[in-house]
Structure 1
Amino acid sequence: MIDGLKDLLSGFRNRNGMSIFYATILARILSFFTSWIALQLIDSKDLGVVIYAFTIISFIIPISGLGLHQSLIRYGSLSASDTTKNQIFKYVLNKGLISSVVLVLLIILISLLFKSYFLNGINYLIILSFAIPTFFLLEIVKVQYRLKHQNKTFALVEVSYNILLIILVTILSYTYKEMGYAIALVIAPLLTSVLFIKKLNIDFKIKVKPDIINFGFWKYGFFASLSNVATKFLTAIDIILIGYLLKNSEMVTVYKYISLIPLSLLFISQVFITTDFVNLTENIYNKNYIKKYIKNYMFLFVFISICIGFSSWLFAEDLLLFFGTEFVNYKASFLVLILGAIGILILRGLYGNLLSIIGKANINYYIAISAIVLNVILNYYLIPNYGIYGAALTSTLLMWVTGIISCFAFYKLYKKFLVHQKLE
C-alpha cells in the first residue's frame, strides 16, 4: 500500500502536479486581491451590479462553445498523434467560437427583450456576455497544453491570467470605475490566450476534419458542460433557499462564510484530477492501471480526509473566530459541511471524472440534476425546522450520495466500456 502511494505521488510530481498545486493556490490569492482592489476603487453599490451580471454569465461560461472544450480534452487524450490533437484543436476553436458568438447574440437579444428584469445591469450583462468566447478560447488553450503533457506551462497560463486580471482591474477600475472592471473581466482571458496560443505551434492553414469528430463528440461535450453548470448550481442553491425560506439575509451571510473553508478544500482533489486526467484517459483501456490508480488515490485521500476531519474538529472554533465571534455558534453546521467535503474528496471527485473519461458525462449530468431536485425537496423541510444546520445536513447527505452513485455507476459502466472495446 505504501509503495502504491509512493507511485501515485511520484507520478503526480513527474507530471508537474506540484506546479498546478502552487499555481492553484497563487491564483486563489490573486483572485482575492483582485476582488479587494475592485472594492477599494468602485462604489460597492455599483460594483454589486457588475457582480450580479457576471454571476449570471458565470453560469453560462461552462457551456461556451457548447462544451467543445470538454470534448477536446477527452478525445484529444484518446488520439495518439500530435497531428490529430492539433486537428481536433482547430476544429474545436472554429466551431466553438461560432457557437459562443451565437450564445452572446442570444444573451443580448434576451437582455433587450426583458431589460426590465435586469434593471440598470443590462449594459454590464451585454458587455460581460463577450466573456463567453474569451473564456472559451482561454480554456481550450489550457486544455491543449495539458494534452501535450505540458502541465507546467498550463500552470503558467493560469497564473499569467490572474496577474493580467489584477493589473487590468487596477488600471481600468481606477480609470473607468465599474465599466472598466467589466471590460477587464472580458479582455483578461483574451490577452492571456493570445500570449500563449502561439507557443502551441499549430499550423492553422491546414484544415482537415479528424475522423474522430462525430455526433458523439458533440454530445459528450454538451453533457459535460451541462453537468458543470448543474454542479455549480448545486453549490449555490443552498444559499438561494436559505434566503427564500428564512427571509433572513444574516443567515445567508453566515452560511456563505462557514461553507468557504469546506468548499475551498475541494481544490486538493481537483489538482490531482487536473494533473492526471489526460494520463488516465490515455490508459483507460488498461484495467489494471485504472484499478491500481483508484486504490492508491483512495488510500491517499482517506488519509488526507482523516487529517482534515480531526483538525477541523480540534480547531473549529479558532477557524470560525477568523470570521467573527458570532460564527462560533455555527460550529455544528461547519463540521457537517467538512464531512460533506470529505465525501467529494474521496468519492465524487474521482468517480465523477472517471465517468467522464469513459464518455459517460451524461450520467454526471443526470446525477447532478437529481441532486438538485432532492436538495430542494429536503431543504423545504429541513431549513424551516433546523435553519442553516438543515441546509448543511442536506448538502452533506447529497455530497456522499452522489459520490456513492458515481462510484457504482462507474464500475457498472466500465465493464461494458471494456467489453465494447474488445468487440471493436
Structure 2
Amino acid sequence: MNNFTLFLKDFFKNKGLMVFSSMLIEKLVGLINVIFVVRMISEKDYGTITLIASLFGVLITMNGFGTIQGLLRYGSLEKEAKDKTILANFIFKEGLKRHLLLMLLFVFCSIFYELKYENIWVIIVFFLIRMLGVYFYSFILSYYRIQYQNNKFSIISIFINCFGVLISIFLTYYTGTMGYLISLAITPWLALFFYKKEIYLPMSLPSLDFEIKEFWNYCLNSSFTYLFSETLFMIDVFLIGYFLNEEAVANYKVAIILPMNLMFIPLIFIQTDLPKIISNSSNKSYLKFYIHNYYKIFIPLTIIILIIGYFIKDWILQFVFGNEYQENGWIFFIILFSVCCNMCLRNLYGNLLSAIGYVKQNTIISIISIILMVLLSLITIPFFGIIGLAISLALTFISMGICSAFIFRSYLMKI
C-alpha cells in the first residue's frame, strides 16, 4: 500500500490532475462535437468525411516523421533546460521539412478515394490545412512536456479543445458540412498563441550524449510504429467501405466512438509520467514499481467498465446518436472488451517499449498486427458484416498486447 501511495503522490506531483482534466475535456468535447455533427449533417457526408479523416489519422501519427516522439524522448533525457530548448529548436526545423513531405504523401494516398467518391478533393484540402496546423500544435505541447511543465501543456490542450468545439458547433449549425470542415482545418492553428519565441531562433546544436544518426533512427522507427498501429483503424474503415457502403462506415464508426474514447484513461498516467519513465528506463525497480501500481488501478477499473457496458449496450447508441444507430449494441460491447484488454496490455507495454528505446520491436508488432487484422477481416466481413470486423479488431488488439508484454518482460529480466 505504501508503494501505491507513493505512485499516486508522484502522479499528483507531476500535475497529473491537470493532465487528467485536459485529456478528459479533450475526449468529452470531441464526443460532444461528433454527436452534434452526426445529427447535423447527412449520414452520407459523415461517412465520406470519415474516410478521409481515417487516412489523415493514420498519416498524422508520423508527425514530422517521428520528430515529435524524438523530441519527447531525447528532450527528456537532457538535464538542462537550456539544452532542451536548443535541441527543440533543431528538431523543429528539421521536423517541419519532413512534415511537408508527409503532406505530399497524404495528397498522393487520397487520389485512390477519388476513384470511387466524387467531389472529395474539397475535404482533402481542408484536412491538408489541418495537417500542417497539427505539427505546430503537437510540437508546442511536447516542448512544454520535456520542460516538465505539465500545467502549461494542460492549459494549451484545454483551450484548443474547448474553443475548437465551440467553433465547430457554430460553423456546422449555420453552414453544415462546409462549416464542420472549416473548423477542423483551423482549430490546431490556435496553438500558435502559445508558441515560445526561443524555439524558432537560430541556435547551434548542443553537445549531446547520443549520435544524430541514433536520433533519426529512433524518430523513423517511432513514426512507423505509430503509423502501423493507427493503420488498424484505417483498415477497418477501408474494408467496410470496400465490401459494404458509406452508411455501413458511418454505423461502424458511430458504434466504436464511445469505447475508443475510453483509451484516454490509461494515457492520463502514461502521458503524465512518460518523461520520468524515460529517465528511469534502465531502473528495474522503478519499472516494476510502475507496472504493479498501474495494475492496481486498471484491473478493477476495466472490470467495472465491462459490467456497465454489458447492461447499457442495447440502448446507449440510440440514446446518444439517434434511432438509426440502435442495432449496433454488440459491436459496441465487443470493441469495449478489446479496449479494456488494450488498457491492461498494449497501452501499457507499448508505451514502455518506446520509453526504453525498443521502437523496432514495437514496429514489428504493429506490422504483424496489420497482417493479422487483414486476414481475419477478409474472412469475417463477408460472412458477419460489421460484427465480424469488430471481432477481428478485438482479436488483433489482444494479440498485440500479449506480444508487447512478453518483449518488455524479457527486457526486465536482462537488466
Task: Identify the TM-score tier after normalising by the shorter chain.
Answer: 0.7 to 0.9
Contact 2:284 2:412 (8 Å CA) reproduced: no
Name which of structure 1's ranges 59-68 and 330-339 shifts more when overlaid on structure 2: 330-339
Rg larger for: 1
> What is the CA-CA distance between 1:74 and the residue it aligns to?
0.7
Are residues 33 and 297 of structure 1, via their aligned partners in 2, closer, same or farther at CA, if it must alter by over 3 Å? closer
1:289-300 equivalence runs, <5 A: 289-300=286-297
Correspondence 1:301 to 2:285: no
Structure 1 counterpart of 2:79 = 80
> What is the CA-CA distance between 1:352 and the residue it aligns to?
0.2
Name which of structure 1's ranges 182-191 and 351-360 shifts more when overlaid on structure 2: 182-191
> What is the CA-CA distance between 1:314 and the residue it aligns to?
3.8
SS at match of 2:148: coil
Match of 2:402 among 395, 404, 417: 404
Match of 1:342 among 340, 343, 356: 340
Give, in whole Å, the separation in 2 of the partners of 1:34 and 1:207: 43
Correspondence 1:56 to 2:55: yes
Structure 2 counterpart of 1:25 = 24
SS at match of 2:357: coil
Are residues 260 and 191 of structure 1, via their aligned partners in 2, closer, same or farther at CA, if it must alter by over 3 Å? closer
Are residues 117 and 129 of structure 1, via their aligned partners in 2, closer, same or farther at CA, if it must alter by over 3 Å? farther
> What is the CA-CA distance between 1:399 and the residue it aligns to?
1.6
Q: Give the TM-score of the pair, scaled to structure 2.
A: 0.86
Q: Give the TM-score of the pair, scaled to structure 1.
A: 0.84
Letter in 1 for 2:63: S
Q: For each residue in 1:83-116, what CA deviation from the matched residue of structure 2 results, as whole angstroms up to 9, or x when unmatched? A: 2211210011110111122333555578789976
Are residues 232 and 154 of structure 1, via their aligned partners in 2, closer, same or farther at CA, if it must alter by over 3 Å? same
Match of 1:277 among 267, 274, 277: 274
Letter in 2 for 1:308: I
Match of 1:356 among 354, 370, 373: 354
Give, in whole Å, the separation in 2 of the partners of 1:307 and 1:43: 35
Structure 2 counterpart of 1:233 = 231
1:202-213 equivalence runs, <5 A: 202=199, 204-211=201-208, 212-213=210-211
Give, in whole Å, the separation in 2 of the partners of 1:253 and 1:42: 12
SS at match of 1:393: helix
Give, in whole Å, the separation in 2 of the partners of 1:389 and 1:48: 18
Give, in whole Å, the separation in 2 of the partners of 1:260 and 1:275: 24
Letter in 2 for 1:263: M
Structure 1 counterpart of 2:153 = 154
Instruction: Structure 2 unaligned segments of length 5 or more: list them.
Output: none
Structure 2 counterpart of 1:395 = 393
Letter in 2 for 1:259: I
Paired residues, number: 413
1:141-180 equivalence runs, <5 A: 141-169=140-168
1:190-229 equivalence runs, <5 A: 190-192=189-191, 194-198=192-196, 202=199, 204-211=201-208, 212-229=210-227
> What is the CA-CA distance between 1:218 and the residue it aligns to?
1.2
Are residues 108 and 288 of structure 1, via their aligned partners in 2, closer, same or farther at CA, if it must alter by over 3 Å? closer
CA RMSD for the aligned pairs?
3.3
Structure 1 counterpart of 2:8 = 9
Contact 1:284 1:358 (8 Å CA) reproduced: yes
Structure 1 counterpart of 2:185 = 186
1:81-120 equivalence runs, <5 A: 81-105=80-104, 107=106, 119-120=118-119
Give, in whole Å, the separation in 2 of the partners of 1:10 and 1:181: 41
Contact 2:44 2:246 (8 Å CA) reproduced: no
Structure 2 counterpart of 1:128 = 127
Q: For each residue in 1:183-237, what CA deviation from the matched residue of structure 2 results, as whole angstroms up to 9, or x when unmatched? A: 5433332231x21122x86582432255335122112122222222222221343
Name which of structure 1's ranges 361-370 and 247-256 shifts more when overlaid on structure 2: 247-256
Give, in whole Å, the separation in 1 of the partners of 2:155 and 2:373: 38
Letter in 2 for 1:196: F
Structure 2 counterpart of 1:381 = 379
> What is the CA-CA distance between 1:19 and the residue it aligns to?
1.4
Give, in whole Å, the separation in 1 of the partners of 2:108 and 2:313: 48
Match of 1:286 among 273, 283, 287: 283
Structure 2 counterpart of 1:422 = none
Are residues 210 and 129 of structure 1, via their aligned partners in 2, closer, same or farther at CA, if it must alter by over 3 Å? farther
Give, in whole Å, the separation in 2 of the partners of 1:278 and 1:310: 34
Q: For each residue in 1:155-194, what CA deviation from the matched residue of structure 2 results, as whole angstroms up to 9, or x when unmatched? A: 11111112342354467668887666545433332231x2
